[in-house]
Every structure is written in structure tokens, then in C-alpha cells.
Amino acid sequence: MSDFKPKSDFLRTLIERGYIHQCSDYAGLDEKAVSGDLVAYIGFDCTAASLHVGSLVQIMMLHWLQKSGGKPVPLMGGGTTRVGDPSGRDESRKILTLDDIENNKNGIKSVFSKFLKFGDGKHDALMIDNAEWLTTLNYIEFLRDVGRHFSVNRMLSMDSVKMRLDRDQELSFLEFNYMCLQAYDFVELNKRYGITLQMGGSDQWGNIVTGIDLGRRMGTPQLYALTSPLLTTSSGAKMGKTAQGAVWLNADMLPVYDYWQYWRNTEDRDVGRFLKLFTTLPLDEIERLEQLGGAEINDAKKILATEATALIHGREAAEQAELTARKTFEEGVTATSLPTVEIAAVEVAAGLGILSAFVKAGLVASTSEARRQIKAGGLRVNDEAASDERANLGADLFVHDGAVKLSLGKKKHILLKQV
């Protein structure tokens, strides 16, 4: 791959910025991209009400595709989510209800409009749900038309299946069918929308290639596969998971400020890589930022945080988050734009214990944990270390525009506001 010289903007950008793990046919795909009618899709499961940072690489690939003259298609897995992808799972997924799936789908949809331009034009993005064709499939017909092209022998040798079998873990027939449906999606999308490229995370390689294979047998034009590397931080942790939970992309599930903070706390070694993947800054600018060493690298992290946040939440909100962080960390001032939790004034008047205040703010899970944190010196009220677990938060402490600043550790701050 390193010696491949792409002619298309699309492949060049993806290669330069580090999005590519594997591609089924660089030269062929390059030709297709140059011709200007490359339509590509990425499937997204509807297993949660929002996508998280782990899906961001995929979304960015669609973004670059559109920027370089292709047509991006985010595919909602409204149909396949009813089955459940066993890839990378060593346990069966729990089966979601149709209502859940529908809700999740609606939550996920909203994020794409931030990255893609939708419409009816040739290069406008198109949102499709595979429920469109999967839910009306007739079993017998499907088996005759599609099922006969699948070799169980080969399916058994696929990593996702083999892993389960090797470990003697249950793999239901339902899940076993997932790859057939995903392969069929690819073929159906080609017929309906002229899609010739499927992208995805590296764990999707097997599923995607199976689709290409099915396409060949069912008479589609040549299809292509392109996968992105599985992202981990330099210390080996999976991207997008923190103790509080996933780093969600929807603002109603994770405050913009927290999203900004997530990127601000990037490890030194990851800054360059993440700037390329998660911002649209030009490469020469990124190269300059990568050169920064020592404490100066913090400037690069701030740029990363603001740029990455601006892409999804808008520049204004991103700069607001940056400002809030600067006040909080560098100037030691309490910014009223910190994430806020509301509490009824009567509760404060009735005597609000410090322990339950931290629980209400969501900084700790239980009063017992709050007690422990006080012993460890981890809790602060208006920047003063809390030492008395029996203390009450009187109304006189709510000095920041009717709110009191509660902190856990050095980084997590919440304003508890009387209403």
C-alpha cells in the first residue's frame, strides 16, 4: 500500500490521513473514484441511541468521500440490528425490541447532518435503512436466490464464527445469518443505488468481502471493500470508552464541554494521529503541530479538541467549551458554562447534605462513594476541599449565579443550580 500512488483525491486523502487498514483493490477503486461516480456506504447498527467516538472514523470517511467528489450513504441497520452482529463479540447480543431500534435509529440519524450534506443532487448524501428490503424478505425466495451462493464451509472458517466455535460459545442461527444479510445489503444497495464500495471498521472485513463475493455470483459490477484500522490509544485502551460510559456524539447524551474535554485529554503520542483522523485541518498545519514538544503540545491538544468538537457541535459551542476550560483550568475562575445539574431550592432550604449533593450532581454513584472520596480528598465545593461528610450545603454556597461548584478530582466539575 505504501508504494501505491493514488490518482483520486479520495484515496490520497484517506491514505495520507491514516484511515485505511485494508482495501480489496486499490487500483480498481482508484479508477472508480477518479471517474467521479463513486457511491459508497457504511452500515451503522442501531444498538444505542447515539453513536460514540468509536464510529467517528467511519463518519469521517464518508465526510472525505463527499468532499472529494463521491456520494456517501450512511446505512441505518434498522433491519440487521434485529439480528445482531456477532463480530468481535464473544457473547450473544441481547435482542432489542422494535421500539428500541426505532428510537435508536432516530437518535443516530441526527449526527450525520453535521458531517454530510444531504439532498437530491448527484453528490448529496443519502440516508437509507436496510429495513427497507430486509423486513419484507420471503424466506424461501431468499434461500433460493441468495442462500444458495453461501458456503457454510466458508462461513465456518470466518473469524467471527470461528472464535465462538473455538471457545465453545453459543452462536445462534439468528446471529449466524447476520453476515448473509449484510452481504445481501451490499448487493441490494448496488442494484438500487449503484453503490460499489462498502467501508467499515477492520472487524467488518470478513462481512464486506462476503458481500463482494455474493455480488460476483449474483451479477453485480465489481464491488470494493475498504476498512479503517481499529483505533486504540497509544496505551492500548479502546477509543470512546471512559468510566462514565461511552463518549457519545449526541449532545443530549454527553455535554459539549465533556466532549471537548475528552479530546483535550488525548495522550501526547496520539495527538498527530488524531488531528489527521478527527479534524479537517490541512496536513501541513498538522505537521507543524506535531512538532510541538513538552508542555507546548498542550496547545496542539486544545486545537484538536476545538476542531474535533466544532465538526460535530458547531464552532460556537466548541469555542465556548474551550473558553470554559480556560477559565476553569488556567484562570481558576468558575465558569457558569460548566455542565449544570438543577436542584429544587426547597431541597436546599430543607438542608442538603454534602454527600447527597454530590450524588445528585452525578459525580459519584452513591453516598458511600462520596464518603470514600472525601476521605481520599477527592471532593471539593467551590474549590475548597470537603472534609466533613456531615456538612450541609447551605444556600450561601450557591454563589455562582445561583449555583454551587462541585468537583471530583481535578478535572470533573459540575454546577449544582437552585431552581
Comparison of 284 and 330: residue with beta carbon closer to RNA: 330
Return the residue of 25, 268, 290, 319 that touches RNA, per CB under 7 A: 268
CA atoms within 13 A on the CB side of 31: 6
Question: If we measure between CA atoms, which residue out of 24, 147, 44, 49 comes closest to residue 99?
Answer: 49
# chain residues binding RNA, by CB under 7 A: 41
Nearer to RNA among residue 121 and residue 294 (C-beta): 294
For residue 393, the minimal CB distance to RNA (Å) is 15
Is 387 among the residues that bind RNA (CB under 7 A)?
no
Residues 298-327: x where in contact with RNA by CB under 7 A, - otherwise, as a string: x--x-----------------------xx-
Least distance CB 195 / RNA (angstroms):
38
E strands, 20-178, where?
22-23, 39-44, 71-76, 128-129
Min. distance of Cβ 318 from RNA in angstroms? Answer: 13
Cell of 203: 472487524
Q: Rule CB under 7 A: say whether 266 interacts with RNA.
A: yes
> Could you say which of 365, 383, 384, 394 contacts RNA (CB under 7 A)?
365
| Identified binder of RNA from the candidate list 67, 216, 372, 417, rule CB under 7 A | 372
CB of 402 to RNA, least distance (A): 24
Q: Residue 371, interface with RNA (CB under 7 A)?
A: yes
Q: What's the count of helices (H) and strands (E) in the chain, helices before strands?
A: 19, 15
Identified binder of RNA from the candidate list 171, 253, 359, 391, rule CB under 7 A? 359
Q: Does 78 bind RNA (CB under 7 A)?
A: no
Instruction: Give the interface segment with RNA, choosing from 20-28, 153-161, 182-190, 355-363 (CB under 7 A).
Output: 355-363
Q: Which DSSP symbol is given to 94? A: P
Task: Tell me which H or E stretch contains 379.
Answer: strand 379-381
Q: Are 40 and 198 a contacting pair, CB within 8 Å?
A: yes
Q: Which residue from 27, 98, 156, 237 is in contact with RNA, where contact means CB under 7 A?
A: 237
Residue (110 or 382) nearer to RNA, CB: 382
Binding of residue 336 to RNA (CB under 7 A)? no
Radius of gyration of the chain from its Cα atoms, rounded to whole angstroms: 25
Rule CB under 7 A: say whether 246 interacts with RNA: no
Using rule CB under 7 A, residue 377 touches RNA: yes
Residue 216 gets the label, from left (phi > 0), alpha (psi -120 to 50) or beta, of alpha
To the nearest 10°, the Cα dihedral for 13, 19, 20, 26?
-20
User: Helix/strand/coil (H, E, C) string of 174-242?
Assistant: HHHCHHHHHHHHHHHHHHHHCCCEEEEEHHHHHHHHHHHHHHHHCCCCCCEEEEECCCECCCCCECCEE
Q: Residue 351 Cβ, how far from RNA at the closest point, in Å? A: 12
Give bridge partners of residue 41 from the DSSP assignment. 73, 198
d(CA 406, CA 265): 20
Would you tell me which residues interact with RNA (CB under 7 A)?
A: 168, 170, 235, 237, 242-243, 261, 264-268, 294-295, 297-298, 301, 325-326, 328-330, 355-356, 359, 365-369, 371-373, 376-378, 408-412
